[in-house]
Amino acid sequence: MLDHDFPSYSDGKIVPHGVYDLGLNKAHVNLGVSRDTTEFACDSLAHWWAMQGRNDHPQATQLLILCDGGGSNPAGSALFQQDLQTLADRTGLELRLAHYPSYCSKHNPIEHLVFPHVTRACEGVVFDSVPLVKQLIERTQTRAGLRVTVDILNKVYETGRKAADHLRANLRLVADAVLPKWNYTISPCQSP
């Protein structure tokens, strides 16, 4: 697809969003086909929860999310926090966010326990379709037992969305006492 190094030659776009369950050594990657937005990141988490997370952790009431401080999950973004509130309301889960500061995402377990293996599974192949990328990523495995499942999210995500003041006032967000800019909890307003 030539979308990374030569976007002007691309016929499409693939936006990967990964979820890594450290305790179970299981990973899931959702492939978006439009844009890397806060809504896409939250839809990706909701999809993983519905397809795997709920079955793997049926007693869970809280989800710890380790994420970068930028991209589709920026720390301190009112829009991301609003989308997280929607996610908490959809799932009924309390979401505990721990953002890595800028340039520190290399310490996120998914960055060194999953993505290098995904990259290796895709080595040397020219991406010419989204189903091909899905097939390649599904080949990812390690001696430690890591397997990666993959789904395609076909929704078109728009850029330029703005946070709504009335929604921001209704966030059920509690900042941590330690590093409140990077760490916070969002509770659901209602059960799903």
What length does the chain have?
Answer: 192
Q: Does residue 3 belong to any structural domain of this protein?
A: no
pLDDT per residue, tens digit, the chain (192 aa), is 555 566 666 677 899 999 999 999 999 999 999 999 999 999 999 999 999 999 999 999 999 999 988 888 888 899 999 999 999 999 999 999 999 988 888 899 999 999 999 999 999 998 989 999 999 999 999 999 999 999 999 999 999 999 888 777 789 999 999 999 999 999 999 655
Token pair of 51 as six digits: 């397809």
What was the pLDDT predicted at 166? 77
Q: For residue 173, is it within any domain? A: yes
Whether 63 maps to a domain, the answer reads: yes
Would you tell me how many other CB atoms lie within 10 Å of the CB of residue 29? 25
Q: Do residues 29 and 52 lie in contact, with contact meaning Cβ atoms separated by under 8 Å?
A: no
Whole-number Å distance between alpha carbons of 81 and 117: 31
Q: How far apart are CA 161 and CA 77, in angstroms?
A: 12
Check residue 167 and give its pLDDT: 76
Quick one: which H or E segment has residue 150? Answer: strand 147-153
Closest CA to 152 of 168, 137, 173: 137
Q: What residue spans of 22-181 are helical by DSSP H?
A: 38-48, 54-56, 78-91, 109-113, 115-122, 130-138, 165-169
Cα–Cα distance measured from residue 49 to residue 42, given in angstroms and rounded to the nearest whole number? 10
Residue 3's pLDDT is 54
Distance, in Å, from the CA atom of 60 to the CA atom of 160, rounded to the nearest integer, reads 34
pLDDT at residue 105, as a whole number: 85
5 in a domain, yes or no? no
DSSP-based three-state secondary structure for 163:
coil
Q: What is the DSSP letter of 158?
A: P
Q: Which residues pair with 173 in a beta bridge?
A: 186
137 found inside a domain: yes
Residue 123 has a CB neighbour count (10 Å cut-off) of 7
3-state class (DSSP) for residue 95: strand
Beta-sheet pairing, 147-153 with 26-32: parallel
Q: Has residue 4 been placed in a domain?
A: no
Taking the whole predicted model, whether its pTM rises above 0.85 is answered as yes
How many domains does the chain fold into? Answer: 1
Residue-range definition of the domain harbouring residue 103? 10-186
Specify if 96 maps to a domain. yes
Residue 76 lies in a domain: yes
